[in-house]
Chain A
Amino acid sequence: MSGTTTTKVLATYDGYQADFDRLQGGADAVRASAALKSLRQDAMQHFHRLGFPTTRMEDWRFTSVAPIASRPYALGGPVHVAADQISRFLIPDLPGARLVFVNGRFSPALSETKAVPTGVDIQTLGDSLAGGLDAVEPYLGRLAVVAEQPFSALNTAFLQDGALIRVDDGVVLEDPVHVLFISTAPGEAAVTHPRVLVVAGENSQVGIVESYAGLRDTEYFTNAVTEIDAGAGSVVDHCKILRESLHARHVGRMQARLARNAVVLSHSITLGAAALVRNDISAVLDGEGAECTLNGLYVAGRNQHIDNHTTIDHASPHCASHEFYKGILDGDGRAVFNGKIIVRLDAQKTDAKQSNKALLLSDQAQVNTKPQLEIFADDVKCSHGASVGQLNEDMLFYLQARGLGRARARRMLIHAFAIDVLNRIRHEPLRTQLDLALLERLPAAAEEPA
């Protein structure tokens, strides 16, 4: 076992093992097929071998997961949640199916599975895994690799439920599917391992909104994994919204593979008050002409640490990638942005753009930002830019000179900085909802530093 080996951490591993044994052998196990059990077993072994990452590892240099590794999180159990408790996390006027999970388990009462067109399959992983792995093969676990990623391994070891969205070749699903993961830990700190698998057939189109929210200000840990397989010529629009509550810790991985001419749009919007967030977003451009866009926005306030690690792997020629991240930091908020772009030897005519901007609202806030270009081909266009700045005093003065109070002027400019990212989201109702969530998040951030 690598990693930190304090007694606390050892107790954590023991705790996960005990929960794992209960999962594999307990009442729930009745529903699990032998194939699923062996998939979990294999993942659990990898997790023990890999261990929790430490800050000695390059990819985790600025983000310590010690708060996660040094305490036991019990496997989240079923809790009754009423519809009005989650209403503020829904997206009014966004048509389409909605799958709601509470503490990792599907809630039929809160969900709405409308009739979907032929050629579209929306189901819970709980259902699809009950009969074996046939429904998810060969996609599940192909992109989120348990042998290399400790948190993916842990997620797979506890694989129980989640969302499966499959769209057949040539089928266009107009309305995005909303998958909402709610955490509510009434007593002890709980962990959930949400899983989403999206398989887009050739020339198909599908949109997914994946949101994570906490109902109470209690400690919990969300360990999410999303895999997207975008078939040739498909268009996949994915939006991940974090509105986790105070004291929450969220580690999430989104892993996409793009076949020839596929287009993947990823929006990662981190609002909420979570103490620790680590987003790993990764796309492999695995066929000529593929195009991927990664947009991101985060707000890191007091006592928050938000880490966005993105990787774009140009594994084929004639592919394009655009990356656009913005962050707002105030209080003693911390953020990390690491944008890795790999251009493989034969990925000629690659066009890769990366931009990453941070707005610091206080002297104590801090951001570590790093582009990481690994270019092995010679005929490529690669550009990257990073900036860290404060609110512009000339703009503030202009607004004040028009009669706006300083706090209001600040809020207006912070919002203006962020709206740029939200404006890139295609679905209007989603944009509106996110704008409201952003505005709700901003007042604290608009206070003048002392």
Chain B
Amino acid sequence: MLEITALHASVGGKDILRGIDLTVNAGEVHAIMGPNGSGKSTLAGLLAGRAEYTVTSGTVRYQGKDLLTMAPEDRARNGVFLAFQYPVEIPGVNNAYLLKAALNEVRKHRGEPELDAMEFMALVKKQLEVLEISPDLLNRPVNDGFSGGEKKRNEIFQMAVLEPKLAILDETDSGLDIDALQIVAKGVNALRRPERSTVVITHYQRMLNYIVPDFVHVLAEGRIVKSGGKALALELEAKGYGWIDGAAAEMGA
């Protein structure tokens, strides 16, 4: 599904990713944890196609193709979905209008007929109920004036409607109350299929109680310094990153 090899990337001349190797197979859930500023969102944004990053070396293959040469919209149409850490407010663009446009772009790409307004609403209604989202949010401008939690729920709602193959959730749990966390996890789990993969970026082990990862990775200073099973998340919760930082220094030496 996703194969990242020796990836180095910089922003404005500053090296942020400094040799990432990561393979995500179909059906797997990977969690990425790591201190603030370690490069998690950079990696997520780079995979989704954010233009401001320069890849200095390394490769990323997605479904056997070179992901890095694809335009962001082509990545999305091919099933890459990024749930943003900070969803952008877009006044003047209606939430439902955007989602319908997005869904029809994906459907067109898959060779499926586009949905009209009625069919779209029928499909969307189901997901609104699952995620307990007020239909009112649909008719507002994208994320405009949404509360922090509403923005995160809206990201997962979009994901549920678009049914991506590779979902990257960048701190979707931050800002969610406990009930919302469970609802969002339910939404993510409902999408789990043998052919779909999920990358969950989080600071908190709690999220991983609901979305149980197959692998946990620690990203520090632009490298994956430790990988393990779900137990690693518990260990990090108990001990922090200090002991791994030491390991990183050893590795770098």
Taking Cβ atoms with an 8 Å cutoff, the residues of A that contact B are: 392-395, 397-406, 408-409, 412-413, 415-417, 419-420
CA distance A409 to B109 in the complex (A): 17
Min C-beta distance of B59 to chain A, whole Å:
21
B111 in contact (CB, < 8 A): no
Q: Which of B86-94, B113-121, B216-224, B241-249 is found at the contact surface with chain A? A: B86-94
Contact residues in A for B91 (Cβ distance below 8 Å): 416, 420
Contacts known (A397-B72, A401-B49); A413 close to B106, Cβ less than 8 A = no
**In angstroms, how far is the closest chain A Cβ from the Cβ of B7?**
19
* Among candidates A397, A402, A419, residue contacting B158 with C-beta atoms closer than 8 Å: A402
* B82 CB contacts on chain A under 8 angstroms: 401
Known contacts A394-B88, A398-B87, A420-B92; A404 and B105 CB within 8 A of each other: yes
Known pairs A398-B87, A403-B106, A404-B105; A416 contacts B92 (CB<8 A): yes
A–B Cβ pairs within 8 angstroms, 6 of them: A395-B90, A398-B90, A399-B98, A400-B76, A417-B92, A420-B91
Q: Which of A402, A403, A416, A419 has the most CB of B within 10 A?
A: A403
Is residue B51 contacting chain A, with contact meaning CB distance below 8 A?
yes
Chain A min CB distance to B150 (Å): 16
Given A400-B71, A401-B72, A402-B98, CB of A395 within 8 Å of CB of B77 = no
Judge whether A404 and B90 touch: CB under 8 Å. no
A406 with B51: CB separation less than 8 A: no
Specify which chain B residues have a CB less than 8 angstroms from the CB of A416 in the assembled complex: 90-93, 141
Q: Is the CB of A403 within 8 A of B73?
A: yes
B1 close to A (CB within 8 Å): no
Whole-angstrom distance between the alpha carbons of A399 and B142 in the complex?
Answer: 10
Given that A397-B50, A397-B51, A416-B93 are contacting pairs, would A403 and B88 also be in contact in the complex, using a CB cutoff of 8 Å? no
Instruction: List B contacts of A405 (CB < 8 A).
Output: 71, 73, 105
Residue of A nearest to B142 (CB): A398
The residue on A at minimum CB distance from B92 is A416
* Distance (whole angstroms) from the CB of A359 to the closest CB of chain B: 12
Partner pick for A412 among B50, B52, B72, B93, CB 8 A cutoff: B93
Contact partner, B76, options A393, A395, A402, A412, Cβ 8 Å? A402
User: Of the candidates B48, B51, B73, B75, which one forms a contact with A404 in the assembled complex, judged by CB atoms under 8 Å apart?
Assistant: B73
* Cross-chain contact B93 with A404 (CB below 8 angstroms): no
A412 — nearest CB in chain B belongs to which residue? B93
A-B residue pairs, 5 tightest by C-beta: A416-B92, A403-B105, A403-B76, A400-B72, A402-B102
Contact A395 B88, beta carbon cutoff 8 Å: yes
Give, as a whole number of angstroms, the nearest-CB distance from B11 to chain A: 13
What is the chain A residue whose CB lies nearest that of B102?
A402
Q: Contact between B71 and A401 (Cβ–Cβ < 8 Å)?
A: no
